[in-house]
Chains A and B, each alone.
Chain A
């Protein structure tokens, strides 16, 4: 087997390297900088150049990071590797692994729609495709993001007219910047929570273009923040920091907002269905475009999704990993 599932992560024995391992190893190739894929303690990290700054920010200045560009081939112990855009967040990569004519691709997390900030997903031909399936059910079908952002802007404008702040909860790396880039032409000022602003700062320093944002801190004149847009991480809900910004309405941008129950349980006023993961059609088309014979489903609705793939003619199995697709608490996962 070119790649194996071990208790430390996805392992290539021939190259002696792990992909997104969850326990300490010597060599790790990292698909993207989210914390369930990029963990602390590896002796050597390899990732896309746009992931480097965030990796250092999250895992420490002292870690040893090597970077590659997309489509730049490299060899480890005779095994060929290359990184290809996954379209999930800035710097996110699919990992292509080739040995003796056999090709495997590890998708990491991905989405097929171009979000205007991450490099767009690129289908890579392979024999075996290791796919996520966070939203691997046919009830998950995203609308084009332009429609969702139009809806978001309408909501913001209504709140603006009512002199109510619009608080949008989004994951600090990826979703937050995607929202900022897509709504800033339509709003005067964009305010941020510290967690979001930190990520913005690092991305700006590594020459990613992020629209100007204003950090809310102790010095901020809260009286001026009325009818404005505030981007905050979901953990800011029900905190004193947020209560100072009353009156406000809250929204959560997540694929999980598809279901009414998920939104109502979180006590959120408005749900925007916008995800950095592929929806049902995205997953199916991505798999088809790889031309693969075998699919290994890693996180999400793995059992159901692989059963479906078998029914339409693939060799498909589900593997257990520690990526947070099948998380118990969907409210913590901002997919």
Chain B
């Protein structure tokens, strides 16, 4: 435990990627294999079912410290992180600190709490709180409540593992994919076993950066393949050993949310892995992302839902053919194979259309009209490109259309979490409607640290009312809100729902009377369709 706590602390105290890689490498080489496996699992964001609720933790720490529950709750709002709040509250320096268990042992003990009574759980937790140091309590609480955010990207983990165990980065990236469970595997199996044994394992996705240069700098148009960038969920369809698996880009197995793809068994050859976009396609019309969301996060998809919101797969690429990894073949060759494999006139699966163009200017015109196709822009891929791992520059570019934007008034603010704890960073915005300001969206990213400080100071000086962590503020500040999509929504007070809303900039030049109206926003919906 101590070794992992030290690692966490050191990672938290450096901003240098090289230093982080070195720290992790040393950890992997010196910690037990079991602890290393957990370290990987926790840092790449594997989540486990919480055996204890946040409310219970707060109640027990209130009990331990003789503080009222409301005060613990206030501390949580202000510190922003429950594990950290409790570490500061629960720590006492008057008892022996003698927990010598390693990370793996503690995690197994925590997992075994699941079937215990609340009294047993409480006794277990209090025992640890008494015997751990402040830093250890923090990590212990994190193990109970999930979510390890330490500013270590998967890329950094992959690099550290690659150096520590002398395995190629691409290979490590592939091995870390999918739904491996640290309770059921071990480090050797994860890193050194033969991959083919795990039929469901996806390939790491190749991701594109936003186009940053003039098109002319890309060279000849004939070297590039252009496709529409569809607004669905990027996914992989795996058909191996007579079984279909669907993976989202977020590395979630979503096979059961899209049962219709089972039928692809009849239309695709076994030993195939496709990269593409999952969308809702009804009567040849592509429905908005909002409809797709209704298909996600459900345990069971009813027949009715499948009829109302039929899913389809638009295939971009082929990564495995006849059970062979073909990611190193040039795109043009992969595309030929793809075109041969995808059945025509099938409602479930479609080939991503290649856009014909001979000049960059011509393509620019097509790009600007892509919203009429319900696409969010174009993808440009070099015909010689291999299918790479992760986000890489050079061979693939995404070229999105400009987002929508609207000027709105700040009406509510809430304190953020993590790096933004103790600062008002989560904002709610309103638009004018019949002389009143009507809330229509939340947005938080997009301001600089300096601007956040300024808004934070404003919120504190102009609070009208406090509702727990939320404050209503005097309407005075105007912000330009950018977003990718918009649709009618019955669940929202304003009647509309936005996709990817964020703050584009602070309109210090505008007074609140110059902010937009709800009608202005609704007009954008008609443009959208």
- Binding partners A and B: yes
**Which chain A residues have a beta carbon within 8 Å of chain B's beta carbons?**
137-141, 258-262, 264-265, 267, 269-270, 301, 304, 307-308, 311, 326, 328-331
Asked whether A261 and B81 contact (CB < 8 A) given A141-B88, A331-B453, the answer is yes
List chain A residues, Cβ under 8 A from B85.
139
List chain B residues, Cβ under 8 A from A137.
71, 74-75, 78
21 A-B contact pairs sorted by A residue (CB < 8 Å): A137-B74, A137-B78, A138-B65, A138-B67, A138-B72, A139-B79, A259-B84, A261-B79, A261-B80, A261-B417, A261-B418, A261-B420, A261-B421, A262-B422, A265-B449, A304-B71, A307-B70, A326-B460, A328-B457, A328-B458, A328-B459
B390 contacts the other chain (CB 8 A): no
List chain B residues, Cβ under 8 A from A141.
88, 91
Given contacts A137-B74, A139-B75, A259-B84, 5 further A-B contacts (CB under 8 A): A137-B71, A258-B88, A260-B418, A264-B12, A269-B13
B15 contacts the other chain (CB 8 A): yes
In Å, the complex CA distance between A134 and B305 comes to 55
In the complex, residue of chain A having the shortest beta-carbon distance to the beta carbon of B74: A304
List chain B residues, Cβ under 8 A from A329.
453, 456-457
Q: Contact check, A138 vs B15: say whether CB atoms are below 8 A apart.
A: no
A-B pairs with beta carbons under 8 A, tally = 76
Q: Contact check, B71 vs A330: say whether CB atoms are below 8 A apart.
A: no
List chain A residues, Cβ under 8 A from B422.
259, 261-262, 330
Question: B444-467 toward A: CB 8 Å interface, digit per residue (1/0)?
Answer: 000001000100111111000000
List chain A residues, Cβ under 8 A from B68.
308, 311
In the complex, residue of chain B having the shortest beta-carbon distance to the beta carbon of A256: B422
Kindly provide the distance from the CB of B484 to the nearest chain A CB, expressed in whole angstroms.
Answer: 28
Kindly provide the distance from the CB of A160 to the nearest chain B CB, expressed in whole angstroms.
Answer: 17
Q: Which of B6-33 contact A (CB under 8 A)?
A: 12-15
In the complex, residue of chain B having the shortest beta-carbon distance to the beta carbon of A143: B93
Asked whether A328 and B75 contact (CB < 8 A) given A262-B421, A269-B14, the answer is no
In Å, the complex CA distance between A167 and B337 comes to 60
Kindly provide the distance from the CB of A102 to the nearest chain B CB, expressed in whole angstroms.
Answer: 31
Kindly provide the distance from the CB of A260 to the nearest chain B CB, expressed in whole angstroms.
Answer: 6
CB < 8 Å neighbour of A260 from B78, B84, B461: B84
Asked whether A139 and B421 contact (CB < 8 A) given A259-B79, A311-B68, the answer is no
Q: Contact check, A265 vs B79: say whether CB atoms are below 8 A apart.
A: no
B497 contacts the other chain (CB 8 A): no
In Å, the complex CA distance between A262 and B12 comes to 12
In the complex, residue of chain A having the shortest beta-carbon distance to the beta carbon of B71: A308
B157 contacts the other chain (CB 8 A): no
With most chain A CB atoms within 10 A of its CB, the pick from B71, B72, B460 is B71
List chain B residues, Cβ under 8 A from A140.
88
CB < 8 Å neighbour of A270 from B13, B421, B423, B458: B13
List chain B residues, Cβ under 8 A from A138.
65, 67, 71-72, 75, 88-89
In the complex, residue of chain A having the shortest beta-carbon distance to the beta carbon of B138: A260
Question: B360-373 toward A: CB 8 Å interface, digit per residue (1/0)?
Answer: 00000000000000
Q: Which of B121-166 contact A (CB under 8 A)?
A: 151
In Å, the complex CA distance between A220 and B79 comes to 42
List the 3 shortest-distance A-B pairs measured between CB atoms, nearest first: A328-B457, A261-B421, A139-B88
Question: B82-96 toward A: CB 8 Å interface, digit per residue (1/0)?
Answer: 001100110100000
B419 contacts the other chain (CB 8 A): yes
In Å, the complex CA distance between A259 and B416 comes to 13
Q: Contact check, A328 vs B79: say whether CB atoms are below 8 A apart.
A: no
Q: Contact check, B74 vs A328: say whether CB atoms are below 8 A apart.
A: no
List chain B residues, Cβ under 8 A from A301.
78
List chain A residues, Cβ under 8 A from B67.
138
Kindly provide the distance from the CB of B421 to the nearest chain A CB, expressed in whole angstroms.
Answer: 3
Asked whether A328 and B461 contact (CB < 8 A) given A140-B88, A311-B68, the answer is yes
Asked whether A139 and B89 contact (CB < 8 A) given A259-B422, A261-B421, A267-B15, the answer is yes
Q: Contact check, B89 vs A265: say whether CB atoms are below 8 A apart.
A: no
Kindly provide the distance from the CB of A155 to the nearest chain B CB, expressed in whole angstroms.
Answer: 10
List chain A residues, Cβ under 8 A from B71.
137-138, 304, 308
In Å, the complex CA distance between A139 and B79 comes to 8
Kindly provide the distance from the CB of A212 to the nearest chain B CB, expressed in whole angstroms.
Answer: 31
Kindly provide the distance from the CB of B316 to the nearest chain A CB, expressed in whole angstroms.
Answer: 38
List chain A residues, Cβ under 8 A from B79.
139, 259, 261
In Å, the complex CA distance between A258 and B423 comes to 15
List chain B residues, Cβ under 8 A from A260.
12, 81, 84, 418, 421
In Å, the complex CA distance between A333 and B179 comes to 46
In the complex, residue of chain A having the shortest beta-carbon distance to the beta carbon of B417: A261
Q: Contact check, A261 vs B460: say whether CB atoms are below 8 A apart.
A: no
List chain B residues, Cβ under 8 A from A307.
70
Kindly provide the distance from the CB of B464 to the nearest chain A CB, expressed in whole angstroms.
Answer: 15
Asked whether A264 and B461 contact (CB < 8 A) given A137-B74, A137-B75, A269-B13, the answer is no
Q: Contact check, A328 vs B65: say whether CB atoms are below 8 A apart.
A: no
Q: Contact check, A259 vs B421: say whether CB atoms are below 8 A apart.
A: yes
In Å, the complex CA distance between A141 and B92 comes to 10
Kindly provide the distance from the CB of A204 to the nearest chain B CB, expressed in whole angstroms.
Answer: 35
In Å, the complex CA distance between A304 and B74 comes to 8
List chain B residues, Cβ under 8 A from A259.
79-80, 84, 421-422
In the complex, residue of chain B having the shortest beta-carbon distance to the beta carbon of A144: B93
Q: Which of B46-79 contact A (CB under 8 A)?
A: 65, 67-68, 70-72, 74-75, 78-79
Q: Contact check, B420 vs A265: say whether CB atoms are below 8 A apart.
A: yes
In the complex, residue of chain B having the shortest beta-carbon distance to the beta carbon of A265: B419
In Å, the complex CA distance between A261 and B74 comes to 17
In the complex, residue of chain A having the shortest beta-carbon distance to the beta carbon of B70: A307
In Å, the complex CA distance between A308 and B66 comes to 12
In Å, the complex CA distance between A327 and B71 comes to 21
Q: Contact check, A328 vs B456: say whether CB atoms are below 8 A apart.
A: yes
In Å, the complex CA distance between A246 and B141 comes to 38
In Å, the complex CA distance between A262 and B88 comes to 15
In Å, the complex CA distance between A264 and B151 comes to 10
In the complex, residue of chain B having the shortest beta-carbon distance to the beta carbon of A139: B88
Q: Contact check, B419 vs A264: say whether CB atoms are below 8 A apart.
A: yes
Kindly provide the distance from the CB of B450 to the nearest chain A CB, expressed in whole angstroms.
Answer: 10
Q: Which of B371-420 contact A (CB under 8 A)?
A: 417-420
List chain A residues, Cβ under 8 A from B84.
259-260
In Å, the complex CA distance between A326 and B457 comes to 10
Kindly provide the distance from the CB of A127 to the nearest chain B CB, expressed in whole angstroms.
Answer: 26
List chain A residues, Cβ under 8 A from B70.
307
In Å, the complex CA distance between A314 and B279 comes to 63
Kindly provide the distance from the CB of B342 to the nearest chain A CB, expressed in whole angstroms.
Answer: 48
Kindly provide the distance from the CB of B151 to the nearest chain A CB, expressed in whole angstroms.
Answer: 8
Kindly provide the distance from the CB of A307 to the nearest chain B CB, expressed in whole angstroms.
Answer: 8
In Å, the complex CA distance between A137 and B67 comes to 11
Q: Contact check, A328 vs B453: say whether CB atoms are below 8 A apart.
A: yes
With most chain B CB atoms within 10 A of its CB, the pick from A261, A265, A267, A329 is A261
